[in-house]
Amino acid sequence: MPKNMILKCPFCDKMTINVIYYPPVLQTSVSRAAGRTATKYYKTKEKYEVTSDCPNCKKKAREIQKVLDGEKRDSKKEKKILERLVSQGLFKSEIKIDLENTD
């Protein structure tokens, strides 16, 4: 059953985006051959459909949909994660390759 919900905008982090939420559903697929049937069960992924633009940051619904689907990355969040990893010493920004000693 689809539900109307209000979510945070991935760009400005305010609860202003209207979406339709489709929860994961268990579905079946039946195949038949030579008097034998096989039933397979699979689960669909959850899905969000953005129905409104963000009134705060003026981002379009299409851009927000791309971020929610994982097609577009949020560069601000990536920079924050990268800075945190560098400050903890877990990530080195330069990778050095010795081309002379490669086999």
Average pLDDT in the chain: 82
For 1-49, the pLDDT digits (tens) are 889 999 888 888 888 889 999 999 999 999 988 888 999 999 998 888 9
The answer to whether 23 and 49 are in contact (CB under 8 A) is no
Indicate whether 83 pLDDT > 80: yes
Share of the chain above pLDDT 90, in %: 24
Tell me how far apart the alpha carbons of residues 83 and 88 are, in angstroms, rounded to a whole number.
9
The mean pLDDT value for 75-103 works out to 69
Domain spans of the chain? 3-88
Whose structure tokens read 């633009």? 53
